A and B are shown apart, each in its own frame.
Chain A
């Protein structure tokens, strides 16, 4: 009997204590952990807390999440240079602060707080970019996250930031989805998109190469590639071109000869490479090796088109390969407007070489966010979002620009670029020349052609 009793008491004692330890520690942990993140101490200057608002202390932190490892690391490095420059200008004046109009930026921080920043590595991996963004948001208390060098990464972070109530200012992302199907209230894109590329490029192509052309598309098999191909097909067909074929190429492809063999077998006289980064470098180089630049089809010169151009890609492919090839860019350091000139000068003074288009869009995004906070008079995200929506500005390098409210896409002028021949180049940063500036009205489009909802101003 006694044995049983003692056993029982023993059991209950030990069982109770075990459960109690768990319970007590978890309750304690919840209690202690709560103040460490998302302190919902409401009603600071009349607004409830969202994300990392209200900003405490005399500093405000921005989060710069760029690719530091992987294929886009060089582009990421240039983005980071631009961000650091933007922070410098926000705190001390200079750069585009002198040309941006209208602007409430003082050159003395934002809303009286000094701007500081933290950096992260997206690894061009959606999961890694989200974990990195979370670190900035939860540990470093950033009020805004910006960066990225591909659309998948931008979209992944845009969703995360929307959920956590942090504004995300996209870096380089060109897919229609970013401000189309996957648009988010907390995400903003200054860069142009695939649809705008098609709209701007197709008329130039038909005036350069004629209306009676047959195009063959090679398309990277992911969302950006698909939207780029659709847009190019739609707008070139509107110009009277025929579409001879389209092959989806896996993103991991490094050798495109099996696809080029099929292009050569068709009647096409224009090859459209809907590729970016390493894909584009490889497919263009392969095409040149196949002699496509010196070939005649249907009695015309066979032409190659690269809808989205960047300086790093052009450099990677080599100027003998890109000589004369047409494509589009958002911005180029050779532009002669006031905004571009001061930005290029400030960047070159700081780093010794001119900025890339990725650097430009990242720099402008940071300034636009800071300016919206000044205009709203608060860091309260819904107010900042409203200040950015339908904001009309000038002096940031693309002429008069609208941050469209319904889809958070910047509507602005853009560039049709042409690859320079090796002899025409003046420096290691001079690979592309501006063939034509396409004005804002031409690039503009009806946002309702894309599905998607921005979602609420206050995150769920």
Chain B
């Protein structure tokens, strides 16, 4: 049953943080693309899927370092190609069409990967420096006795924090970020001012894809590598975006952690844990339709 000892509480907290980290990494790309381009990208889960398959293959062949360099790079290029080849034709189409075409693309990507790699799971070996456990009771004296947590999952949390910070820094402290943020407000006005917004939009899409690449390299050993993973993550990540407020980066971070925590702390009761994420979605959207930190007027 629900255990309120300090150890149990601490473990649930870490687990919630760690589960939230993956949601945040995937939702970050989704919400960035939505906020700037106004595109609902149902293929984002499939981009993550591409990333984990690339990561596990490169990791096995050339080691983790190469995977860390190559996977986000390839994903960035893939994102650019996807924007030029498909998404740009859907900027002026209804959201329904965007959802449907990207959903179709997600099926195609998933089935192609299944064709190449098979439906079975591929074990993703954690590099030796990330393997093992952290003895939490040595770091946090308030814990009683023996409390451990996998090192890799803590690394994942750190990576997620670094990535989120980098994206925030990029958007707030660079000219590129300034233009993008202006574009999120009013892209038409920006074009009147002679800014080539299209090229920047393309780069934003690549950036969202690149974040999925980073998520894949570090998330792969946790989410595992099988064709179903993309679709499994798609719905919760999408709910995270909506709960946080579509297009709001800080909202996605907040909502991701919230959902992770909610799932972790309801684990003792299956009836609650299976519906908690939907329950939160319904409550948030009914009470505060624009999402927790959503901008006023966006899709309200």
Binding site for B on A (CB under 8 A): 69-74, 221, 247-250, 252, 254-255, 257-259, 261-262, 264-265, 278, 281-282, 285, 289-291, 295, 312, 315-318, 320-321
Q: Which A residues are CB-close (under 8 A) to B267? A: 247, 258-259, 261-262
Cβ of A318 and Cβ of B15 under 8 Å apart?
A: no
Cβ of B120 and Cβ of A312 under 8 Å apart?
A: yes
Known: A74-B118, A247-B267, A316-B121. A255 touches B222 (CB 8 A): yes
Among B69-77, B95-103, B159-167, B226-234, the one that faces the other chain is B226-234
25 A-B pairs with CB atoms under 8 Å apart are: A69-B114, A70-B119, A74-B118, A221-B270, A247-B270, A250-B273, A252-B232, A255-B222, A257-B153, A258-B12, A258-B15, A259-B267, A261-B12, A261-B14, A261-B267, A262-B267, A262-B268, A278-B121, A278-B228, A289-B150, A290-B133, A291-B132, A291-B150, A316-B121, A316-B122
Q: Which B residues are CB-close (under 8 A) to A72? A: 119
Among B1-9, B42-50, B178-186, B289-297, the one that faces the other chain is B1-9
Known: A257-B19, A262-B3. A291 touches B148 (CB 8 A): yes
Cβ of B223 and Cβ of A278 under 8 Å apart?
A: no
> Is B11 an interface residue when CB atoms closer than 8 A count as contact?
yes
Extra contacts besides A257-B150, A290-B149 (10): CB < 8 Å: A70-B228, A247-B268, A257-B19, A258-B15, A258-B16, A258-B267, A262-B11, A289-B150, A289-B153, A290-B150
> Is B123 an interface residue when CB atoms closer than 8 A count as contact?
yes
- The chain B residue sitting closest to A258, CB to CB, is B267
Q: Which B residues are CB-close (under 8 A) to A295? A: 148
CA distance A361 to B5 in the complex (A): 48
> Is B170 an interface residue when CB atoms closer than 8 A count as contact?
no
Cβ of A318 and Cβ of B148 under 8 Å apart?
A: no
A261's partner among B11, B114, B121, B226 (CB-CB below 8 A) is: B11
Cβ of B270 and Cβ of A249 under 8 Å apart?
A: yes
CA distance A70 to B227 in the complex (A): 8
CA distance A69 to B149 in the complex (A): 36
Cβ of A74 and Cβ of B119 under 8 Å apart?
A: yes
CA distance A312 to B223 in the complex (A): 18
CA distance A71 to B119 in the complex (A): 6
Cβ of A258 and Cβ of B263 under 8 Å apart?
A: yes
CA distance A312 to B12 in the complex (A): 32
- The chain A residue sitting closest to B263, CB to CB, is A258
Q: Which A residues are CB-close (under 8 A) to B18? A: 257
Q: Which A residues are CB-close (under 8 A) to B148? A: 264, 290-291, 295
> Is B34 an interface residue when CB atoms closer than 8 A count as contact?
no
Q: How large is the interface on B (under 10, 10 to 19, 20 to 34, 35 or more residues)?
A: 35 or more
Cβ of B224 and Cβ of A254 under 8 Å apart?
A: yes
- The chain A residue sitting closest to B223, CB to CB, is A254
CA distance A262 to B5 in the complex (A): 11
Known: A252-B232, A258-B263, A291-B150. A265 touches B7 (CB 8 A): yes
CA distance A320 to B221 in the complex (A): 14
Q: Report the minimum CB–CB distance from B231 to chain A (whole Å).
A: 10
> Is B171 an interface residue when CB atoms closer than 8 A count as contact?
no
Cβ of A317 and Cβ of B273 under 8 Å apart?
A: no
- The chain B residue sitting closest to A255, CB to CB, is B19
> Is B152 an interface residue when CB atoms closer than 8 A count as contact?
yes
In residues 1-39 of chain B, which contact A (Cβ within 8 Å)?
A: 3, 5, 7-8, 11-12, 14-16, 18-19, 22
CA distance A321 to B123 in the complex (A): 9
- The chain A residue sitting closest to B1, CB to CB, is A245
Most chain A beta-carbon neighbours within 10 Å: one of B114, B147, B223, B270: B270
CA distance A361 to B121 in the complex (A): 23
Cβ of B123 and Cβ of A317 under 8 Å apart?
A: yes
> Is B109 an interface residue when CB atoms closer than 8 A count as contact?
no
A257's partner among B15, B120, B270 (CB-CB below 8 A) is: B15
CA distance A254 to B235 in the complex (A): 13
Q: Which A residues are CB-close (under 8 A) to B232? A: 252, 254
CA distance A18 to B258 in the complex (A): 62
CA distance A450 to B218 in the complex (A): 47
> Is B274 an interface residue when CB atoms closer than 8 A count as contact?
yes
Cβ of A265 and Cβ of B268 under 8 Å apart?
A: no
Cβ of B15 and Cβ of A261 under 8 Å apart?
A: yes
CA distance A265 to B9 in the complex (A): 10
CA distance A71 to B224 in the complex (A): 13
Q: Which B residues are CB-close (under 8 A) to A254? A: 223-224, 229, 232
> Is B81 an interface residue when CB atoms closer than 8 A count as contact?
no
In residues 202-245 of chain B, which contact A (Cβ within 8 Å)?
A: 221-224, 226, 228-229, 232
CA distance A71 to B118 in the complex (A): 10
Cβ of A320 and Cβ of B118 under 8 Å apart?
A: no
Q: Report the minimum CB–CB distance from B164 to chain A (whole Å).
A: 20
